[in-house]
Amino acid sequence: MWLIRLAWKNIWRNKSRSLITMAAIFFAVILSVVTSSLQDGVFDNLIKNMVSFYSGYMQVHKKGYWDEQILDNSFAASPKMEQETLSGKNITAVSPRLESFALASSVDITKGCLVVGISPEGENKITRLNEKIIAGNYLHEADNGVLLSDGLARRMQLKLYDTIVLIGQGYHGSTAAGKYRIQGILKFGSPELNDKALFMPLALAQDFYGAYNQLTSYVISLNENNLLKTTAEELRLKLGKEYEVMTWEEMMPEVAQHIRTDTASSKIIEAILYLLICFGIFGTLLMMMVERKFEMGMLVAIGMKKHKLAALLLLESIFTVVTGCLLGILVSMPVVIYLNRHPLRMSGDMANIYERFGFEAVFPASTEATHFITQGIIVLLIGFLLSLYPMARVIRLKPVNAMRR
């Protein structure tokens, strides 16, 4: 107890030095907590946007479908399997699709297009397809009409309520052909979708392709992207070898790679920040050791055990670091919460790019506790490691040498 009191008093023997050390830790914690929360928020948002384009967080296919995306690699729809999938932890929605390519014709224009059979309601939960309608009406299960993407409509010079003819290869080599009324026009941010996609109710697509009760995929939406890998792994085990479960990271490796590089570069910046803090703290520790060398020699001379003296120094470091760290976390909490409630809004060119892709250029900071905990632990660890140095010096201290002037 008296050792703790002495440690506390020792911190304040050189007020400005301790305050500078604490302030350095304080600002380092705030800076790193806020940046990592912001960055996580940006990526969360980016991922949410990316997966709600089209892919969902995960998809289930028949094994081999991803490498050879043909109708013959489809599987039989199974309400039981859908139910089982939906029951997985962290899974919020599951929606079936049957998709393949076909040729679309108007009077005298023919273009390739992606014909996607969907469950109108299920799809909404994952990609919010109905929000992309710019003309006409969204689909119902039993409708006979289709939704055409804006770019494709323009390329084919088709308007709402015109008729579109589709011809393609159906299931097991059959020929697929049909004539459909355009009941809605969709506008997508992604040029790829906007120039190619055509949506129709699942039953209509199965009829068109002659693939009755067949699906090419279940599209899955998650609650928590952090648990992406474990959720996928659990589902893989549940569904067995006949199916492949793919995460968005596997389906869109470029996006995943981009996030990884970006995270890595900000980790490096964080590391540099902490390295600077380390040097700062180490400098003050060195100064402290020089200043108190005689006194430490004197303390050992009169009978203070070295491990006790080392404990004193450790306590002093812990007090300094913990104070700075706690204050930093305390202050960064409202900052992060504020940045969550009042998200950063991107402006200028970047915002235009984002908005063109159908993203809202708004980035709420992530308020997850892990940011505070991780940064807190890192700083504590740094403080502890650095204080090992004076402790080691004390263990080797010889009072006669320390007290020589």
User: Residue 11 or 81: which CB sits closer to another protein?
Assistant: 11
Residues that bind another protein (CB under 8 A): 2, 6, 9-10, 12-13, 294-295, 298-306, 308, 399-400, 403
Contacts of 377 (CB under 8 A, 6+ apart): none
Find the shortest distance in angstroms from Cβ 324 to another protein: 20
- Tokens 């806020």 identify what position? 34
Contacts of 94 (CB under 8 A, 6+ apart): 82, 85, 86, 122, 218, 219, 220, 221
Length of the chain equals 405
Find the shortest distance in angstroms from Cβ 13 to another protein: 5
Find the shortest distance in angstroms from Cβ 15 to another protein: 11
| CA-wise closest residue to 191 among 149, 160, 159 | 149
User: Residue 280 or 399: which CB sits closer to another protein?
Assistant: 399
Q: Say how far apart CA 191 and CA 155 lie, in whole Å.
A: 13
Find the shortest distance in angstroms from Cβ 26 to another protein: 23
Residue 202: burial class (beta carbons within 10 Å; 0-12, 13-18, 19+): buried
Q: Say how far apart CA 344 and CA 38 lie, in whole Å.
A: 9
| Lookup: tokens for 95 | 């929606």
User: Residue 2 or 254: which CB sits closer to another protein?
Assistant: 2
CB 232 within 8 A of CB 58: yes
Q: Say how far apart CA 330 and CA 366 lie, in whole Å.
A: 16
Find the shortest distance in angstroms from Cβ 9 to another protein: 4
User: Residue 128 or 305: which CB sits closer to another protein?
Assistant: 305
User: Residue 3 or 385: which CB sits closer to another protein?
Assistant: 3
CB 147 within 8 A of CB 183: yes
User: Residue 192 or 291: which CB sits closer to another protein?
Assistant: 291
Please state the φ and ψ torsions of residue 98, each to the nearest 5 degrees. -130, 115
| Lookup: tokens for 198 | 């055509």
Find the shortest distance in angstroms from Cβ 302 to another protein: 5
Find the shortest distance in angstroms from Cβ 309 to another protein: 10
User: Residue 140 or 404: which CB sits closer to another protein?
Assistant: 404
